[in-house]
Amino acid sequence: MDLRRGFSNLLLAGAFCLASSLIGLSSPPAQADQGTDNLLGKAFEEIENNRLDQALVHVEALLRAKPNFRLAYLIKGDLLLARGRALKTFGNPPQGPSERLDDLRAEAMARLQAYRQRPSQDQVPRYLMQMREDQRYAIVVDNKRSRLYLYQNENGRPRFVADYYISTGKRGGEKTREGDEKTPVGVYHVTASLPRKKLSDFYGSGAFPISYPNEWDKRHGRNGHGIWLHGTPSDTYSRAPRASNGCVVLANADLDALSEKLQIGLTPVIISEQVEWLSLDDWTAERDALNSEIERWRSDWEGLDTETYLTHYAKNFSADGENLSEWARHKRQVNSGKSWIKLKLSNFSMFRNPGKDELVVVTFDQDYRSSNLSNSMKKRQYWTKEGGKWRIVYEGAA
Amino acid sequence: MMRQGQLPQSLERVDKFLAGKPRDAQGRFLKGLILTEMNRPSEAIQVFAKLSEDYPELPEPYNNLAVLYASQGQYEKARTALESSIRTHPSYATAHENLGDIYAKLASQAYDKALQLDSSNTGAKTKLAMIGEMIGGGTSAARATSRPDPVKPAEAALGKTADAGKAGVVASAPKSDSGPKTAEPAVKAGGEQRAESEELVKTVRAWANAWAKKDVQGYLGYYAQDFKTPKGEARDEWEKARKQRINAPKKIEVGIESPKVSISGDNAASVSFRQNYRSDVIKTSGTKTLVMVKANGKWLIREERVN
């Protein structure tokens, strides 16, 4: 049947877009059971196998469970129409606004891709280098694929739990300005929980603001605010892939499932244009390399070897309005007045910033004792690669 | 043919027959057809529904049940019935055609939901073909009651077996008639109903037009003698009040949007629509139902309900 060809074309187009980003995603893991995507996926499979009647059974089951799922109505319409005549494309309403049809097609594409290419258990998002012991979960967002991945912290190693369809900014990712209708790309965390009763229906079952703009965003002059993870208005099950003003929007049931896992002020939310995946070996190697660099920085500082200590800082370092030479002068002066330093670092988290630049956000507890001063603080550093070596480009209190 | 005038008699005869043989498939099928002709769809639905329950192997009752459901806009039910019809008789052309129409209608409803279009006014109800004769003829019924010729009981019921050529209903039932031909009365009745619908909508628009033109006499002329005034006030009081209200504004516009007609009998119907009223004083919009009655060939308003 031609409808089947329509879906195959859809798949082909999808595969084409994905070709560069797919580093071996395969086999659906058993524990991620999202009813909607499963039923939809089954319907797609039946269509591909030319069992349109069975496909309709799945779609109708889906509509009984989610009576406001617009995409499912579109597929239902096609399946019914296909009984009378051959269909050449996906989505054949005789009338209606073409943008809405395009939106539903895009949503179908996103959901279908996600169903086909589940994250493999052997690979992890490159960004989750090290989760803190008390960070139970981490969120990774793939803006292009309209997907949110939930990972659990299993002794520091991220283990895939679930993934969800999402809507993001109308104009894509890499937010820079207030009102640019883009979703930011970077390393953030959940900062608050806004309950449903404090929100209008537009935000659905709840909202979780995230920490945009972070230190790095501010340093680059990016502004805007109010980037949230939130739910969906009651008149629809889901929204188009590109629909929000920059927020990450989930179906209400999905947001509810997710909200149980979130720790306010703690759960990382890492938003990428396209997730990069690493094998566990590569992931371990990257983590170890940076860990040992951080340890060298610590021991050089503790050893009062100020000049070697300062080589860990990047040329374009800046923090609190100080550039590298100001920072160096300041550190030389402070260190020269000390006879000893004891430095203990603990509770590390390391999250790689998505994107072309080599950038890792490192956060830890620093217990600093010295001959004339002691303090404890939570510190954040941004590490970057300079001449092939990891260097600190920003440092400050977290 | 089952002409309008003879329908009550035909019904009486078939009822008499069924009183003696309440399970007879042909007789019940005929009764369903007569009720359909008489514009009593809910009773016809009952008859065909029960018939298809008792004889699930017969395709025709399912088909006719579907036609009736579809005429009421209940397309999912129509679909289920037609699919059953085709299951029992995979080569049934009428049921296939009907099912094709139902699928198209359901598809368009699904698309409307997908694109959030208002589907309440997407045109006329689908008109499907009724089957006027049971070819299999309720064989199991016949077997059960050891009657080899399923048509005969119905004929007998009408008491005119010997004189079949003259009798209205009997003449349409015999096996010699082809499917489409016997289906004709139903189609014709459908055509009449459609004409009546158009007449009703025309009347409502004319009523609105008289109102908008502030033609009070003309406007009041659309109300039946036994019009139920909204608050139960006396007719002349109501007329006086209407006259005042209509004369007060300088300009009136009355728009009638997506009228829906439901005919409940030869002389009874109701028309629901969205009324957009606008004068130089006020602008309102709401749904209204006019309960209509036919007197001397003219449709008049018996009751005006604001929803």
Predicted confidence (pLDDT) per residue in A15-64, tens digit: 333 333 333 343 334 333 467 888 888 898 898 888 888 999 999 999 99
- Give me the half-sphere count of Cα atoms (radius 13 Å) on the Cβ side of residue B73: 11
In this predicted structure, the answer to whether residue A368 has a pLDDT above a threshold of 60 is yes
Predicted pLDDT at A48: 85
Q: How far apart are CA A113 and CA A117, in angstroms?
A: 6
- Residue A269 one-letter amino acid: V
Distant-in-sequence, close-in-space partners of A120: CB < 8 Å, separation ≥ 6 = A24, A25, A26, A27, A277
Q: Are residues B12 and B113 in the same domain?
A: yes
Q: Are residues B46 and B57 in the same domain?
A: yes
Q: Do B111 and A94 touch (CB under 8 A)?
A: yes
ipTM of the complex: 0.73
Q: Do B115 and A96 touch (CB under 8 A)?
A: yes
Q: Which long-range contacts (CB under 8 A, 24 or more apart) does B172-175 make?
A: B172/B1, B172/B2, B172/B132, B172/B133, B173/B26, B173/B30, B173/B133, B175/B133, B175/B135, B175/B137, B175/B151
Predicted pLDDT at A233: 96
Q: Do A104 and B114 touch (CB under 8 A)?
A: yes
How many domains is chain B built from? 2
Last residue of a domain, one of B172, B192, B212: B192
Q: Are residues B22 and B142 in the same domain?
A: yes
Tokens of B128: 């499907």
Select from A80, A99, A238 the residue whose CB has the most chain B CBs within 10 Å, as the one to mutate to test that interface: A80
Name the CA radius of gyration of chain B, rounded. 23
Q: Which of A185, A131, A186 is nearest to A157 (CA)?
A: A131
In this predicted structure, the answer to whether residue B125 has a pLDDT above a threshold of 80 is no
Q: Are residues B169 and B232 in the same domain?
A: no
E-strand stretches of B35-114: none
In three-state secondary structure terms, B267 is coil
Predicted confidence (pLDDT) per residue in A80-102, tens digit: 988 877 888 889 888 888 899 99
Q: Are residues B204 and B294 in the same domain?
A: yes
- Nearest residue of B to residue A97, measured between CA atoms: B115
**Banded pLDDT at B172 (limits 50, 70, 90):** very low
Predicted confidence (pLDDT) per residue in A98-134, tens digit: 899 999 999 999 998 888 888 888 899 999 999 999 9
Predicted confidence (pLDDT) per residue in A277-318, tens digit: 999 999 999 999 999 999 999 999 999 999 999 999 999 999
Strand partners, B301: B223, B292
A140, A125 Cβ separation under 8 angstroms: yes
Q: Are residues B237 and B276 in the same domain?
A: yes
A222, A184 Cβ separation under 8 angstroms: yes
In three-state secondary structure terms, B45 is helix
Q: Are residues B17 and B154 in the same domain?
A: yes
SS3 content of chain B, % helix, strand, coil (to 5): 55, 15, 30
E-strand stretches of chain A: 123-125, 128-130, 137-142, 147-154, 157-169, 186-189, 194-195, 206-209, 228-230, 242-244, 248-250, 268-272, 277-279, 318-319, 322-323, 341-352, 359-370, 374-386, 389-397
**Mean pLDDT for chain A?**
89
Q: Which of B106, B97, B108 is nearest to A60 (CA)?
A: B106
- Residue B40 one-letter amino acid: R
Distant-in-sequence, close-in-space partners of A133: CB < 8 Å, separation ≥ 6 = A153, A156, A347
What fold, for A278-397? Nuclear Transport Factor 2; Chain: A, (3.10.450)
Contacts of B99 in chain A (CB under 8 A): 83
Last residue of a domain, one of B157, B177, B192: B192
Predicted confidence (pLDDT) per residue in A328-347, tens digit: 999 999 999 999 999 999 99
| Mean pLDDT confidence for B29-35 | 94
In this predicted structure, the answer to whether residue A224 has a pLDDT above a threshold of 70 is yes
CA distance readout (Å), A114 to A25, A69, A128, A164, A329? 10, 18, 20, 9, 52
What fold, for A122-275? L,D-transpeptidase catalytic domain-like (2.40.440)
Q: Are residues B52 and B146 in the same domain?
A: yes
Q: Are residues B51 and B134 in the same domain?
A: yes
**Mean pLDDT for chain B?**
77
Boundaries of domain holding B103: 4-192
Q: Do A74 and B116 touch (CB under 8 A)?
A: no
> How do beta strands A268-272 and A137-142 pair?
parallel
Q: How far apart are CA A80 and CA A57, in angstroms?
A: 11
Domain with CATH 2.40.440.10 in chain A: 122-275
**Banded pLDDT at A385 (limits 50, 70, 90):** very high
Q: Are residues B18 and B164 in the same domain?
A: yes
Last residue of a domain, one of B169, B192, B215: B192
Domain with CATH 3.10.450.50 in chain A: 278-397
Predicted pLDDT at B284: 74
Q: Are residues B78 and B199 in the same domain?
A: no
Please identify which residue in the block is written with the tokens 């991620």.
Answer: A32
- Domain with B13 in it: what CATH number? 1.25.40.10
Q: Do A83 and B100 touch (CB under 8 A)?
A: yes
